[in-house]
Amino acid sequence: MYKTAYLDLPPLRGAAGTVSLPGSKSISNRVLLLAGLSEGETLVHDLLDSDDTKVMIAALRELGCELHHRDDGVLSVIGLGGRLRQKQAQLFLGNAGTAMRPLTAALAVLAATQGGQFELSGVPRMHERPIGDLVDALRALGCPIDCLGQEGYPPLRLRGPAPLSLTAPVQVRGDVSSQFLTALLLALPLVAAGGVDGQAPRDIVIEVTGELISKPYVQITLDLLARFGVQVQRDADWQRFVIPAGSRYASPGVVHVEGDASSASYFVALGAIAADQAPVRIEGVGSSSVQGDVRFVEAAQAMGAAVTLGPNWLEVRRGAWPLRALDLDCNHIPDAAMTLAVMALYADGPTVLRNIASWRVKETDRIAAMATELRKLGAEVEEGPDWLRVFPLQHWQPAAIHTYDDHRVAMCFSLAAFNGLVPGRSEEAVPVRILDPQCVAKTFPDYFETLFSVVQARPQDIPVITIDGPTASGKGTLTDEVARALGYGVLDSGSLYRVTGLAAHRAGLDLNDGAAVAALVPTLDLRFEEGRVLLDEEDVSNELRQEATGLMASQVGAHPPVRQALHQLQLDFRRLPGLVADGRDMGTAIFPDASLKVFLTASAATRAERRFNQLISKGVPAKLDDLRADLEARDARDKTRSASPLQAAADAIELDNSAHSVEASKDLVLGWWQTKRPFPH
Ligand SMILES: Nc1ncnc2c1ncn2[C@@H]1O[C@H](COP(=O)(O)OP(=O)(O)O)[C@@H](O)[C@H]1O
Ligand SMILES: Nc1ccn([C@@H]2O[C@H](COP(=O)(O)OP(=O)(O)O)[C@@H](O)[C@H]2O)c(=O)n1
C-alpha cells in the first residue's frame, strides 16, 4: 500500500494482464457478523483484509467472539451462538457503514433481550452519516437507544434489558439506504428463534416504507442469511420480509468470499479504455456472482467495452473508442457507478448518471466530490440532487485529486491517467496526482500496486530523480527517503558495480580486464528484493557493503565495456510510478532526461566520519584515517576515469549536505521536486 501524502500517476497508455480481486467488502462484513452470531466455528476463505473488515473483526473480538487468522490465510470464527458474552463494550467502527449499521441492530436487540450497554462510534465523517431511520425502527421495537451527539447520527448508546414488542411488523425506510433493512434482516433472527427472552418462537415481519433502493445489496444479505440457515421470505415488490418463527443462525462450516464486484469496476473500465491489444482478465467475479455490482459490466458494455464472462472471471477489451455516452439509472449499481463518471471523460457525448441520491450520504458527499474533482481535470460537469452529467474532455489539465477519505474517489480517478489515449488529442498527455492514496485501504489496500501490474507507460513518461555524488555523501540514505515519500522505486546503481566486482573477484577474473568482466555481466543471476541483493540466490547484501567490495566496484566501474554491459539493466529500473536513482552517472549517462538531478556532496572529513560511524554502528572495525584515505582515492579514481567520470550534470542542482540533517536534505529535494511537477500548488 502507498502510504505517501500523494501518488503521481504518469500518463498511462495501455493495459493487459490478469488481476485477482480482493474479497468483497459487503460479503466479508456480513459473513463476519453472521459467523459471529452463529454457534460453532466458521472458516472464512478469501476474506477481504482492509480497514473496514479490521474494525468488524476488532468489534467481534470485543464482544467475546474468538477469531484467529490461520497460517493458510483462512479466518476461523467461533461465534456467540446468539448469547452475549460481554455485556458492556465501547466499539470504534472507523468509517465502516457495513459494520456500524448491522452491529447497531444486532447489539440493540441483544442488549434489550439479554441486558447490556454498548457504545458505537466512528471517525468524524461516520458521525455525519445518518442512521436515524434504523434507530427509529429499533426504538419502535422497544430497544432503548441514545444518540450521544446529534439525534439520528452516531455515536450511539444501546441499552437493555427492555421488553420488545414484536407482534406488529417492524417498519423501516428503504429509500435512503438499504443498509438499514440489511441490518434488521441480519439481526432479527436473534428474536425469531424465541427463547432468549423467555418468549416463544415467532415470525418476524419487516415492512419497508418508501421504494427500496440498492436491492442487489439486500439480495446479498438474503443469500448469506440462507447460507447461515435463515430462509427469509420476501414478497415480489421487495416491501415485506418475513423471518420465519424458529429461524436460527447455523454456521455452514466453510464460507468462500467472492471477489469484490465494485472493485472489479475499475479494471473493467481499464479494459474498456486501454486494452486495445490483449484483454484485462479479472479473477474473482463473473456471471455466477451474487453481487449486484457485477451489473456494472452491462453499463461498461453499453459504453463500448468488449466483455467475455466466465463463472468467476471477466475478460475486458476496448470495443468502441471513444466510448459511447450513456444515460443511466444507476440505482442498481450505486458504488460502481462512480467509475462511469470518469469513463464519461472518454465518451463521445455527455453522460448522465441518474438516481444516485445515496451518493450524498456515503464516505463523503460523492456527487459533490466527483463534480469538484472532475472539474479540476478541466471537465464540464452539471449536478443535481440525485444526478450528475459529465461532458467528454479534450483539454486535460494536470490535477491534484482530493480524495475525501473515500477509497472509490481515489480508485476511479486513477483512470484519468489515460488522457493520452483520447482520440484526436494533440496536446501532451498529463499526469494525475492522487492525494492521500492510502484511503484505498478501506476496500483494496493494494489497488495501485495491482493497477501498475497491468498498465503500461512510455519510459520517458515515468519520472526519474537522480542523486549522484561521491562516496558517503549520503546518496543512498537520501534516495531511500525521497523514494519513500513519493512511493517510487529505488535504483542503487553502486550495488550493481559492487556485485559485478564481487562476482568477478569470486570467478578469479583480473579486475583490470574490462572485457572479461563485461562478458561476465550477462551471465549473472541477480535478484533485487526489498533492499537485498541476491547473487545466485545467495543474499550478498552485507558483503556488498564492505569497503573492500566498494574498491572492487570502483575498479570494474572504470571500464567502458562494463558500464555498457550494465546500462540496460539500470534502464529497466524505470518502472511505474517512478524512480529515484543513486550513483555517479545517473544524471549524466543513464537518465539524462531525468526531471530532477541532484549532485550531493559533503566535505571529505564529514564523509569519512559518516562512513566511520556507519561501520562502527554495524560492529565493523574501522579507522577514520584509513577510511578518509580510501575515500579520497576512490573519489580521485571516479572523477578522473575516462568513462562516465563522477561529475555533476550541467542541469543538476548541487547540494552540500555537510551541515544538513537527512530530514532537511529530503525536504529540500522534495521542495525542488514540487517545482518540477505540473500540478497546481
Ligand atoms: N545529511 C546527513 N547528515 C548526517 N548523516 C548522514 C546524512 N546523510 C547520510 N548520512 C549518514 O552517512 C552514512 C553514509 O550515507 P550513505 O547514504 O550510505 O552514503 P552514500 O550512499 O553516498 O555512500 C550513513 O550512515 C548515513 O546515515
Ligand atoms: N553509477 C555508479 C555507481 C557506482 N559506481 C562505482 O561503484 C562504486 C561503489 O558505489 P556505491 O554508490 O555503492 O558506493 P558508495 O558511494 O556507497 O561508497 C563507486 O565508487 C563507483 O566507482 C559507478 O561507477 N557508477
Q: What is the pLDDT of residues 473-491, one digit of tens each?
A: 999 999 999 999 999 999 9
**335 in active site:** yes
Beta bridge partners of 211: none
Kind of pairing between the strands at 17-20 and 280-283:
parallel
The reply to whether CATH 3.30.420.140 applies to domain 462-676 is no
Ligand 2 centroid to 7 CA: how many Å?
Answer: 30
Average pLDDT over residues 339-345: 98
Ligand 2 centroid to 469 CA: how many Å?
Answer: 9
Query: Counting ligands in written order, which one lies closest to the CA of residue 634?
Result: 2
Helix (H, G, I), strand (E, B) or coil at 193: coil
The three-point CA angle 262-263-265 to 5° equals 70
Q: What is the pLDDT of residue 177?
A: 85
Kind of pairing between the strands at 156-160 and 145-147:
antiparallel
| 466 vs 652: CA distance, rounded Å | 9
Across all residues in the chain, what is the average pLDDT? 94
Helix (H, G, I), strand (E, B) or coil at 263: helix
| Active-site residue (options: 335, 585, 630, 635) | 335
Ligand 1 centroid to 546 CA: how many Å?
Answer: 15
Ligand 2 centroid to 638 CA: how many Å?
Answer: 8
Above 90 in pLDDT, residue 638? Answer: no
Above 80 in pLDDT, residue 46? Answer: yes
CATH superfamily, domain at 6-22+260-458: Enolpyruvate transferase domain (3.65.10.10)
What residues line ligand 1, using a CB cutoff of 6 Å? 471-477, 610-611, 614, 657, 660-662, 665
Q: Answer whether 407 contacts ligand 2 (Cβ < 6 A).
A: no
Asked if residue 95 lies in contact with residue 135, where contact means CB atoms within 8 angstroms, the answer is no
Which residue's CA is minimally distant from atom 24 of ligand 2? 557
Name the binding residues for ATP: 469-477
pLDDT in tens, 91-111: 999 999 999 999 999 999 999
Give the ligand 1 atom nearest the CA of 617.
25
Q: What is the pLDDT of residue 533?
A: 93
Q: Would you say the CATH fold of 25-256 matches that of 6-22+260-458?
A: yes
The rounded percent of the chain whose pLDDT value lies above 70 is 99
Other beta carbons within 10 Å of 37: 26
Q: Answer whether 554 contacts ligand 2 (Cβ < 6 A).
A: yes
Q: What is the pLDDT of residue 501?
A: 97
Q: What is the pTM of this model?
A: 0.87
Nearest C-alpha neighbor of 333 from the set 292, 366, 370, 301: 292
| 84 vs 63: CA distance, rounded Å | 7
Asked if residue 551 lies in contact with residue 634, where contact means CB atoms within 8 angstroms, the answer is yes
Q: What is the pLDDT of residue 621?
A: 86
Burial of 579 (0-12, 13-18, 19+ CB in 10 A): buried
Q: What is the pLDDT of residue 681?
A: 65
Q: Answer whether 553 contacts ligand 2 (Cβ < 6 A).
A: yes
Ligand 1 centroid to 472 CA: how many Å?
Answer: 6
Give the ligand 2 atom nearest the CA of 638.
22
Q: What is the pLDDT of residue 214?
A: 83
Q: Answer whether 630 contacts ligand 2 (Cβ < 6 A).
A: no
pLDDT in tens, 149-190: 999 999 999 999 999 988 899 999 998 889 999 999 999 999
Cis peptide before 161 (omega within 30 of 0): yes
Which residue's CA is minimally distant from atom 16 of ligand 2? 471
Q: What is the pLDDT of residue 313?
A: 95
Q: Answer whether 583 contacts ligand 2 (Cβ < 6 A).
A: yes
Name the binding residues: 25-26, 30, 97, 129, 177-179, 214, 335, 362, 366, 408, 442, 469-477
Which residue's CA is minimally distant from atom 4 of ligand 1? 661
Ligand 1 centroid to 549 CA: how many Å?
Answer: 18
Query: Counting ligands in written order, which one lies closest to the CA of residue 482?
Result: 1
| 469 vs 425: CA distance, rounded Å | 41
Query: Counting ligands in written order, which one lies closest to the CA of residue 493?
Result: 2
R_g over Cα of the chain: 30
DSSP state of 5: S
The rounded percent of the chain whose pLDDT value lies above 90 is 85
pLDDT in tens, 563-601: 999 999 999 999 999 999 999 999 999 999 999 999 999
Q: What is the pLDDT of residue 468?
A: 96
Q: Where are the domains of the chain?
A: 6-22+260-458, 25-256, 462-676
Query: Counting ligands in written order, which one lies closest to the CA of residue 494?
Result: 2
Q: How confident is the model at residue 132 (pLDDT cuts 50, 70, 90)?
A: very high
Ligand 1 centroid to 550 CA: how many Å?
Answer: 15
**Domain 25-256 CATH class label:** alpha beta
Q: Answer whether 585 contacts ligand 2 (Cβ < 6 A).
A: yes
Beta bridge partners of 76: 43, 68
Q: Answer whether 550 contacts ligand 2 (Cβ < 6 A).
A: yes
Q: Answer whether 634 contacts ligand 2 (Cβ < 6 A).
A: yes
Edge-first strand listing for the sheet containing 538-539: 526-529, 532-535, 538-539
The three-point CA angle 573-578-583 to 5° equals 55
Q: Answer whether 497 contacts ligand 2 (Cβ < 6 A).
A: yes
